[in-house]
């Protein structure tokens, strides 16, 4: 990977980081403005659901910001674009789609499959324990 590629990905990462930061600030402002008492149970329930969704979105944004910061750090260290598991180059098509990727597609699929199996086993264990 050339220095020009690193600069291109660095710009993409900084742009995405700025976008998430702006979106997070506007979400906080809108939640402050919506701090009103709701008259009936349906309005209260709808507001509670909206707050739960917003909290989940903030968690997702926070994880994405951490991944972006980690990718920027890998650029500084010169390890950007190299899979952290198998040490093979991450294809540029994957980096163009997900510039904060730290794993190649195959290693990411194995990781996701492992997590899915863990959830299935955990669910089975809970059913057996009942």
pLDDT, one tens digit per residue, over 8-64 is: 999 999 999 999 988 876 655 555 545 556 568 888 888 888 888 888 888 889 999
Does the predicted TM-score (pTM) go above 0.85? no
In 3D space, the residue among 102, 106, 104, 126 whose CA is nearest the CA of residue 114 turns out to be: 106
d(CA 42, CA 69): 41
pLDDT, one tens digit per residue, over 30-41 is: 555 455 565 688
Q: Give the pLDDT score at 48.
A: 84
Q: Give the pLDDT score at 76.
A: 95
CB atoms within 10 A of CB 82: 15
């Amino acid at each position: 990977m050339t220095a020009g590629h690193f600069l291109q990905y660095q710009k993409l990462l900084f742009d995405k980081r700025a976008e998430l930061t702006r979106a997070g600030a506007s979400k906080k402002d809108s939640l402050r403005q919506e701090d009103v008492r709701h008259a009936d149970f349906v309005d209260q329930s709808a507001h509670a659901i909206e707050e739960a969704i917003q909290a989940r979105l903030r968690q997702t944004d926070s994880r994405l910001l951490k991944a972006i910061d980690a990718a920027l750090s890998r650029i500084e260290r010169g390890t950007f674009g190299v899979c952290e598991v198998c040490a093979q180059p991450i294809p540029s098509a994957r980096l163009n789609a997900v510039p904060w990727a730290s794993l190649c597609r195959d290693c990411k699929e194995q990781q996701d499959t492992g997590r899915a199996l863990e959830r299935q086993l955990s669910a089975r264990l809970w059913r057996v324990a009942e």
